[in-house]
Amino acid sequence: MFGFGDMLMATPAVRLLKEGRPGVHITWYAMQKTAAQLLEGNPFVDEVRYFPFLTSGAAATAAHMIRHAFRRFDTAITFYPLNRRDYNLFAFMTGARTRIGFSYAHSTPGYLGWIHNRRLAEDQGLHCVRENVRLLSFFNLTVNDQSIPGLQLFLTDDEKARADAYFTSQPRRPVIGVHAGTSIFKGHANRRWPKEHFATLMKSMKECSFFLFGSQEEDDVNQYIIDAVHEPERVVRISGKGIRDVAALIQKTDLFVSNDSGLMHLACAVGTPVVEILGPTNPAFISPWGVKHRVMRTGIPCSPCFYYSAKPLTCSNPRQWECMTALKPDFVEKAVRELL
């Protein structure tokens, strides 16, 4: 898996596979370090390997696979929504006789989907979690929707204790976690709700504290919000912490407000209620899983327009990204107050 959000949405299927076929040995390859870190302590995964093959070059990747993976697996599973040639090549390089994946409705020339010799047709009306669970049919496992667990993340007592200590030092008021950024991969920065709207929301909800989360590539967005609200005792940027400590802090918040991002899925994995802000993304396959939530959308006719493909995200609306800009702060605030 690449991003940790996609990884978390595959964890229910992996748990069901391990419970249904307890004799299998599951090795999970993560291509992002944070994804590998979030798999630590997962009792349904026997081994976690991290290798950034997307950025390591063909020669280094081939050498790694020959040394550590080739012909050591009976089955390779490429989970949803990894609709890209690189992931298919990775499955091929394992040398596994059985390679399980999807046939996507939108694929590019040279996608190499034929590498998977066991495939399901993508169902664009299903949540990513359900799509991954469907792959268990190749193991003769049948799962009804009511039996699908939440996203799986296992924090240690020490990680929870550090979060407790941090919250003890904060003023007592409702705490709302916020992720105002997104990945910038393939134009996905356009899935961000305007930073001005986030600032307006925080100015209006003066009885609450806000913790701003995000990576270094989102520092400019978070700094804008901090400067615009200009209440450092209420609006705090969380920085310099590892992804697992971030998860523990999010678990302690009363609510999480987020764009379509990995941190939104992280909030679901620790059981925190979520208000998700969506524009081009289809809520059918990306809405918060397993927690109380509200999905905020404008509902304009051209939205949703995003589908899983190797192509970058683009907008055909003359009023560029209206699905995000036209969603007003008071509308989101109402949903936040309902969940609080």
- Asked if pLDDT for residue 134 goes beyond 80, the answer is yes
pLDDT at position 69 is 84
- Output the pLDDT for position 246: 97
pLDDT at 167 over 80: yes
Alpha-carbon gap, residue 289 to 301, rounded angstroms:
25
CA atoms within 13 A on the CB side of 44: 19
Q: Is 100 helix (H, G, I), strand (E, B) or coil?
A: strand
Residue range 105-115: average pLDDT? 83
Angstrom distance (rounded) from CA 150 to CA 241: 25
Backbone φ and ψ for 250, nearest 5 degrees, come out as -60, -35
Q: Which residue has the tokens 């093959």?
A: 53
Q: Which of 48, 85, 252 is nearest to 170 (CA)?
A: 252
Range from 95-99, 133-137, 168-172, 272-276 carrying the lowest mean pLDDT: 168-172
Strands, E, within 138-187: which ranges? 175-179
User: How does residue 187 score in pLDDT terms, banded at 50, 70 and 90?
Assistant: low
* Maximum CA extent, the chain: 59
pTM over 0.85: yes
Q: Measured in whole angstroms, how far is the alpha carbon of residue 224 from the centre of its chain?
A: 24
Write out the two tokens for 309: 């493909």
Task: State residue 266's pLDDT score.
Answer: 98
Least trusted range by pLDDT, from 183-192, 276-285, 320-329: 183-192
Most trustworthy range by pLDDT among 107-111, 250-254, 278-282, 321-325: 250-254
Q: Where are the beta strands (DSSP E) in 53-166?
A: 75-77, 98-103, 118-121
Which one has a higher pLDDT value, 83 or 198?
198
> What is the mean pLDDT of the segment spanning 186-194?
81
Mean of pLDDT values over 100-121: 88
The mean pLDDT of 207-219, rounded to a whole number, is 93
Using pLDDT thresholds of 50, 70 and 90, give the confidence band for residue 201.
very high
Asked whether the beta carbons of 215 and 240 are under 8 A apart, the reply is no
Say if residues 246 and 266 touch (Cβ distance below 8 Å). yes
Q: Is residue 285 scored above 70 in pLDDT?
A: yes
Backbone angles phi, psi at 24, to 5 degrees: -75, 150
Q: How high is the pLDDT of residue 137?
A: 97
Is-contact 13 79, C-beta < 8 A?
yes
CA 151 – CA 13 distance, rounded (Å): 9
What's the pLDDT at 15?
98
Mean pLDDT (the chain) is 92
Using the predicted structure, report yes or no on whether residue 256 has a pLDDT greater than 70.
yes
Quick one: tokens of 9?
A: 């949405």
For residue 307, pLDDT over 90 is answered with no
Percent residues over pLDDT 70 in the chain: 98
Q: CA-CA distances (angstroms) from residue 232 to 153, 167, 177, 223, 301?
A: 31, 16, 15, 11, 40
Give the whole-angstrom CA distance, residue 82 versus residue 294. 26
The per-residue pLDDT for range 49-60, each reduced to its tens digit, is: 998 887 888 888
**Whether pLDDT at 94 is above 60:** yes
Residue 2, pLDDT above cutoff 70: no
Cα gap 303→125, rounded to integer Å: 15
Confidence (pLDDT) at 5: 94
Contact, 279 vs 18, CB < 8 A? Answer: no
Higher pLDDT, 78 or 182: 78
Query: CA 7 to CA 265: how far, in whole Å?
Result: 9
Compute the distance between CA of residue 314 and CA of residue 310 in angstroms, rounded to an integer: 12
SS3 content of the chain, % helix, strand, coil (to 5): 45, 15, 45
**CA distances from residue 18 to 139, 141, 199, 239, 305 in whole angstroms, order as listed:** 11, 11, 44, 35, 35
- Go through the domains of the chain in sequence order and give each one's CATH number: 4-143 (3.40.50.2000), 157-339 (3.40.50.2000)
Decide if pLDDT at 1 tops 60: no
Q: What is the mean pLDDT of residues 322-334?
A: 95
- CA of residue 115 relative to chain centroid, distance: 26
Residue-wise pLDDT tens digits, 269-279? 999 999 999 99
Span 145-159, average pLDDT: 96
What pLDDT shows up at residue 316?
84
pLDDT score of 308 more than 80: no
